[in-house]
Amino acid sequence: MKRFGLIGYPLGHSFSKKYFTEKFEKEGIEDCEYELYPLEAIDELPDLIKSEKGLVGLNVTIPYKEQVIKFLDEVDPKAESIGAVNTIKVQGKKLKGYNTDYIGFKESLVKFVGPNPMPEKALILGTGGVSKAVKAALEDLGIDYQFISRNPSEGELSYGALNTHDSILNTAKLIINTTPLGTAPNTEALPDLPYHQLTEQHYLYDLVYNPLTTAFMQKGIEARCWVKNGLEMLHGQAEAAWEIWNG
């Protein structure tokens, strides 16, 4: 029996087990199962690898996408440049890390914008592990970006700056929410933006996928923006992980 799974903490919000279990059933994939492994600390990973027989692949979610790197024997060059890992291939006792968030986001963003020209500048809301994959995808697509954070470091802006400088939203037509704000059950939460400045030329991409229409997206709909949730990205990163595990 080949075993795959997800590490993170907590894992109540995860779609991965349902997605892969349904994939195995629909595609007639036998002798495979997908489990959830809630680790209260990333230091528990080595014991999991030793104890879980047949483990060949792991997904990594909040809060361990950056912390997990020190436990890996090898890191794919793209994941290393991003500085975050969300997929691990287990080969015997060797662990190799990859970043399929990058693949899923980049491919879905290209579909989202479609035949229209790519926006010249984007705002990345949040600075967690997945935001690094978003940053790498934007760089590869030639899109300038600005990080927005509640506690900005050097080179980042605060949400307050958006509310006091009209020019920021005027020039950044792509806004990507990489924070968990708005995720069920806290569906009314949303990033603190000057939503009255949104126009029909803005693209709002929310990496949240539950609910399918978030409060952030609803603000965009009311302003007649283009909006998208994170479900297609999740499917894309999951399929890319499957290819890595079985490649």
Q: What is the DSSP letter of 24?
A: H
Catalytic choice (17, 50, 65, 219): 65
3-state secondary structure of 107: helix
Among 148, 141, 150, CA closest to 172:
148
Smallest CA-to-CA distance from 112 within 219, 241, 217, 238 is with 217
The full 3-state SS of 165-229, as one line of letters, equals CHHHHHHCCEEEECCCCCCCCCCCCCCCCCHHHCCCCCEEEECCCCCCCCHHHHHHHHCCCEEEC
**Nearest CA to 87 among 238, 226, 195?**
238
Q: How many CA atoms, within 13 angstroms, populate the side-chain half-sphere of residue 82?
A: 32
Output phi, psi for 245, to 5 deg. Answer: -65, -30
- Beta bridge partners, 34, equal 4
Residue 106 catalytic? no
CA distances to 9, 134, 169, 207, 214 from 217, rounded to whole Å, are 26, 18, 16, 10, 5
Active site residues: 65
